[in-house]
Structure 1
Amino acid sequence: MMLDSLFVPGSILWLARHQIRLSWRLGRLGKKIPSWIKPVFTILFVGLLSFSMGYGVAKIFEAAAGDYKQLSSLAGAVILTLMISGISMNLMGSFMTITEKGDLDLLLSSPIPPHRFVAARLISSAWRGFCIYAGFATIFFGASIVMISPMFASIYVVVAGFAILDAAITYMIARQALLWFGLRNGRRATIALGAIGVMIGLVGYQMVSSTGSLGRLAADTEHPNASLIQVHDVIVSLTSNFSWLGGTILGDWLGALAFLVAGGVVSALVLNFAGKRYDQDVAFLNGQNDHAPHKIRKAHPQQFRRPALVMVFHKEWLSMTRDPLFVSQLIVPLFTMVPFLGFVWNAVSNPNEQSEMAPIMGAMFAAITVFNVTMLTSSLAWLTASVEEARDLLQASPLDPKIILQGKVLAASGPAILELVLVAALVAWAWPLAALTLLIMGMATCAGACVIEFSRPRPTKRPKMTQRPDRSLVTVLFGLGLGILWACAAGLAAAKILWWLLPAALAITISYIAWATRPRDLSSIPVSQPLVAVSVGSPGGPWQRVDQT
């Protein structure tokens, strides 16, 4: 009865529950997965990471013996840079939330006060952020809470406050981008701003963290870099003022509660400002679309005289570039390469003194690059493999289905191959063996990722693919395992360890199993013989199958 009184139809909590349920349904990886698999898998995965990664953090706190003042400054700087990255990464999600059209006419004529819709979306966004951040908090601090002291549970209060603050800030930024630039350009603006923010947060973390590569390079006294040291000192001086923030995750419950209250106050101010203008925002959004204005172009007959594979590749490439998430999928994997650029430069500048570390650094760089390439190819291959095609049109096409598949595979793996070539050319100056290894292993993992994604496509209309990502859980797990195995193989091969053959063989086996056990009749591309044009009036009409001609 009490829940019924809280979730009255039309109330803020009722709308928020509907929004959360909608997000949960849209975020499912598959339609036929038992409901108990996802939470069990999540608990086991988080538990494994908590033991492997949180154990080291617990040992650091144990060595401090209760004196956390020295750690609070570093912890505050690290948390600040991670918060910058988190807000930047959630910008795109907030823009998609604020631009959910639904039935705009119904929203405009609804008797529900407009501010309730804004409050519901803020609550659902904060809940989504809390679940994500709490998962990371459990991974890194779960072992410390159990082994050292329960006082470290204050990090969950900080996580709740940051989730509320994150939802409010990203909502306002997304709203202003929509009003200033419109729907299409506003989406691009949030993607660009988010990419810049993630870059700033990543570089800042690498500077202030004791394990960060840029921080270690700045502390190198044998080969000092004046520019790097200057940037490092500026970032450290700015972040050193946030030691109070580090104390909130190290047991300062009063500071953690103050941070939670501050997040609630900011969210209330955003709700008061944006809630009164929600009806105006909906009216502004009505009638807009993501597509560019139609331009009349002069037809060029020679375009249709190109090879069939080139035409299919061009068509798929244009379709992918129109996807609003394409830029982020292409750029974000490159961010993890930035911290290693300093080591590459150091290895090139001082080849003799860096000879001992060359195999280790080259192996790490090769492994990370191959894993990123796998994830990039998997996401793009999913877009090309699962898009719903017009079966009748394809079946009537004179193109061989193999040509269509080849064009899709080439379009999906093209960006990853380009990234491999550029990274290999850069790394070749410092670690030639690592460059050759990541190029070969990267090509292999691109092929394997395409095999896995095309083995279990889920045909969906392209505009709904980002709104309802109905991706197979089996495909996701196969792709993750493939990336880890090829990354291990690349790292071992770059370090001249013969054991690289074992993970490489396992990776090839995974790709083979995924293709051999693929369900039939899932692809939107007909596998039967195509139809070809013959002379009008011939037996069977103007179109016949290849085997009939």
Structure 2
Amino acid sequence: MGPGSFPWLLHHDLRLGWRDFRSGFGRLGARPLLGLVALLLAVMHAAVWGLADEVGALADAPATRGEAEALVLPAAGFVLLLMLAGTLNGATKLLYARGDLDLLLSSPASARRVLGARALAVALGALASAAVFVLPVADDAALLGHPRLLALYPALAGGALLAAGAGLATTLALFGLLGPRRTRLAAQVLATFVGAGFFLALQARRLMPGLLPAEAPADGTWLRAAVGLPVRAALGDGGALAAWLALSAAAFAAAALALGPGFARSAVAAAGAGNARRPAPRRSRSSARLFVGGPLPALRLKEWRLIARDPWVVSQVLLQILYMTPLIALMWTGDGDPALGIAPMIVVVTFQVSSSLTWLGLSGEDAPDLLASAPVPASALRRGKLQAVGALALGLVALPLAYLLSVSASAAAVAAVLALLGLAAAVALQSWHGAPRRRSSFAARHRESKLMGLVEMVMSVLFGLGTALAVLPTAWALAPLALAGGLVAWMRPRRGSAA
């Protein structure tokens, strides 16, 4: 591999991608990390053993191949959404994260070669993220005597190329519409919600049972030709696989080569976006009048404004609510009691959102020295921040709580009481153990304290289970709630220890 060649550039990009992946695991060495990946793959192979046998048997018989296609159709959509989310993030990093694209484009290396290597690295990253979930099915099916499912390997590679082309084109379109400063946040938010679509699609049959077909569309329809192409390719149809790979390669080549000049211009614009001068904010008279009533109203307004003008934080908070939709579907079927799904959602969302916002207010402050030098007692500053957190968290669940009140007053009372307890627990845990970081590190706030991430997950499960049992009602509700209280007490710092 000569310096500046396509393989050399691709190897460089893949090495940087591996370094970024390793950084998410802190100080874990390469060998333990590879062991963890191997363990994950072993677990996935064991988990999909039965599914691989079922799909392989259906795909082998021409009479039942339609059932196999209907089974694989939603899975194909899930995987494409997952890879699209990954390529959107990857395309955003091309322009912003490393800050070296404009430097590489000014080097003697061919611009098409540089952009092609970067684009292929994005596609390979998306392929790796989906391979963990998909390829164990192909391996198990081959071991069980269904080798036609080995077509999943090239079909998945084609999906990664198509997703990479779509991600690059979408990022450039956002760049043209929104400009360099706003595109980064817009692409990150879009990728996050596309990833949420992948998660929610896993529950689609339960959420929308009437909208998903029991079998694949009939032969000859345009829907089967358009939507069923990747499905038939994955199930070993040679003609469909060839067409799928040709379509994916063409889309990727168009994005990587035809959009190359646009990416070059965008890279230069993105490099200079951080140096652009921002207009000085205007001081409004209404903001000045807030200090007449004391510092707390101004502090609450400051916290709300910081959250409202950060689309990335807003998207993460909204995702926590969006991820509760499958919880409602799991606990409330069409003929069941809606309170059984809505009440736990209210409590769990209140706890999770309160925990996130409390971290932002107490541990994610970007100007702690400035606030510490303010002529306001520290207790008043803390109280103002917590008031802002509590008002916002409870405001987010006000409408679901009002609807629940119209359905069942007793369930609404249970949800309201437990939501307040969840708010108090979240505030206490973050006050004791929140790891200080900059607000921009919101998504990675648990890297410093893996224990807090685990505790939050366990507390969410206990609060959700306790709320559901309390709505039934049954005395067993006291068990998970008591465990949650015991966990909070156990997390409380001991006297003489650092909080």
Could you state the TM-score of these two structures normalised by the residue count of structure 2? 0.77
Render the CA deviation track for 1:387-427: whole Å, top value 9, x for unaligned. Answer: 25445434433333333334444444554422322222223
**3-state secondary structure, aligned to 2:398:** helix
**3-state secondary structure, aligned to 1:215:** coil
Written as runs of structure 1 = structure 2, the 5 A alignment for 1:174-253 is 174-187=171-184, 189-190=186-187, 211-216=205-210, 240-241=224-225, 242-252=227-237
Q: Is the 8 A contact 2:351 2:460 kept in 1?
A: yes
Q: 1:216 to 1:162 in 2, by over 3 A?
A: same
1:396 aligns with 2:373: yes
**3-state secondary structure, aligned to 1:500:** helix
1:272 Cα deviation (Å)?
Answer: 0.7
Render the CA deviation track for 1:251-280: whole Å, top value 9, x for unaligned. Answer: 557745653454333222211123234332
Pick from 302, 311, 316: which aligns with 1:315? Answer: 302
Tell me which residue corresponds to 2:158: 161
1:474 aligns with 2:460: no
Q: 1:56 to 1:449 in 2, by over 3 A?
A: farther
1:518 and 1:51 map into 2 onto residues whose CA distance is 47
1:499 aligns with 2:495: no
Written as runs of structure 1 = structure 2, the 5 A alignment for 1:20-35 is 20-24=17-21, 27-28=24-25, 31-32=26-27
1:450 and 1:154 map into 2 onto residues whose CA distance is 51
Q: Which amino acid in structure 1 is aligned with residue 481 of structure 2?
A: A
Q: Which amino acid in structure 2 is aligned with residue 500 of structure 1?
A: A
1:112 aligns with 2:109: yes
Q: Is the 8 A contact 1:84 1:197 kept in 2?
A: no
Q: Is the 8 A contact 2:346 2:415 kept in 1?
A: yes
1:270 aligns with 2:267: no
Render the CA deviation track for 1:58-117: whole Å, top value 9, x for unaligned. Answer: 575488595441323423531354256436644752463143162676456433333344
Q: Is the 8 A contact 1:424 1:439 kept in 2?
A: yes
**3-state secondary structure, aligned to 2:272:** coil
1:472 and 1:266 map into 2 onto residues whose CA distance is 42
2:437 and 2:482 map into 1 onto residues whose CA distance is 33
Q: Is the 8 A contact 1:217 1:342 kept in 2?
A: no
Tell me which residue corresponds to 2:92: 96
Unaligned 5+ segments in structure 2 are none
Q: Which amino acid in structure 2 is aligned with residue 20 of structure 1?
A: G
Tell me which residue corresponds to 2:280: 294
Q: 1:247 to 1:468 in 2, by over 3 A?
A: same
Written as runs of structure 1 = structure 2, the 5 A alignment for 1:334-413 is 334-336=321-323, 354=335, 357-358=336-337, 362-368=339-345, 370-387=347-364, 389-412=366-389
**3-state secondary structure, aligned to 2:259:** helix
1:368 and 1:126 map into 2 onto residues whose CA distance is 36
1:280 and 1:188 map into 2 onto residues whose CA distance is 19
1:194 Cα deviation (Å)?
Answer: 5.5
1:282 aligns with 2:267: yes
Q: Is the 8 A contact 1:437 1:490 kept in 2?
A: yes
**3-state secondary structure, aligned to 1:212:** helix
1:377 and 1:148 map into 2 onto residues whose CA distance is 51
Q: Which amino acid in structure 1 is aligned with residue 93 of structure 2?
A: T
Q: Which amino acid in structure 1 is aligned with residue 436 of structure 2?
A: P
Q: Is the 8 A contact 1:11 1:116 kept in 2?
A: no
Q: Which amino acid in structure 2 is aligned with residue 321 of structure 1?
A: A
Tell me which residue corresponds to 2:318: 331
**3-state secondary structure, aligned to 1:276:** helix
RMSD: 4.5
Tell me which residue corresponds to 1:123: 120
Q: Which amino acid in structure 1 is aligned with residue 82 of structure 2?
A: G
Q: Is the 8 A contact 1:362 1:495 kept in 2?
A: no
Q: Is the 8 A contact 2:172 2:262 kept in 1?
A: no
Tell me which residue corresponds to 2:66: 70
Q: 1:42 to 1:345 in 2, by over 3 A?
A: closer
**3-state secondary structure, aligned to 2:228:** helix
1:521 and 1:481 map into 2 onto residues whose CA distance is 24
2:291 and 2:388 map into 1 onto residues whose CA distance is 19
Deviates more, 1:38-47 or 1:320-329: 38-47
2:206 and 2:146 map into 1 onto residues whose CA distance is 27
Q: Is the 8 A contact 2:390 2:423 kept in 1?
A: yes
Q: 1:17 to 1:339 in 2, by over 3 A?
A: closer
Q: Which amino acid in structure 1 is aligned with residue 228 of structure 2?
A: S
**3-state secondary structure, aligned to 2:273:** coil
1:57 aligns with 2:51: yes
2:151 and 2:447 map into 1 onto residues whose CA distance is 36
2:163 and 2:423 map into 1 onto residues whose CA distance is 35
1:181 Cα deviation (Å)?
Answer: 1.6
Pick from 488, 491, 496: which aligns with 1:514? Answer: 491
Q: Is the 8 A contact 1:449 1:482 kept in 2?
A: no
Q: Is the 8 A contact 1:81 1:202 kept in 2?
A: no
Could you state the TM-score of these two structures normalised by the residue count of structure 1? 0.71
**3-state secondary structure, aligned to 2:479:** helix
2:135 and 2:232 map into 1 onto residues whose CA distance is 17
1:291 and 1:498 map into 2 onto residues whose CA distance is 61
Q: 1:316 to 1:45 in 2, by over 3 A?
A: farther
Q: Is the 8 A contact 1:15 1:117 kept in 2?
A: no
Q: Which amino acid in structure 1 is aligned with residue 209 of structure 2?
A: G
Deviates more, 1:270-279 or 1:285-294: 285-294
Deviates more, 1:487-496 or 1:182-191: 182-191
Pick from 400, 404, 414: which aligns with 1:427? Answer: 404
Give the structure with the higher percent helix: 2
**3-state secondary structure, aligned to 2:17:** helix
Q: 1:270 to 1:151 in 2, by over 3 A?
A: same
Q: Determine which structure has greater relative contact order: mean sequence separation of CA pairs < 8 Å that are 6+ residues apart, divided by chain length.
A: 1
1:481 and 1:188 map into 2 onto residues whose CA distance is 31
Q: 1:371 to 1:342 in 2, by over 3 A?
A: closer
Tell me which residue corresponds to 1:82: 78
Written as runs of structure 1 = structure 2, the 5 A alignment for 1:138-153 is 149=146, 151-153=148-150
2:53 and 2:474 map into 1 onto residues whose CA distance is 31
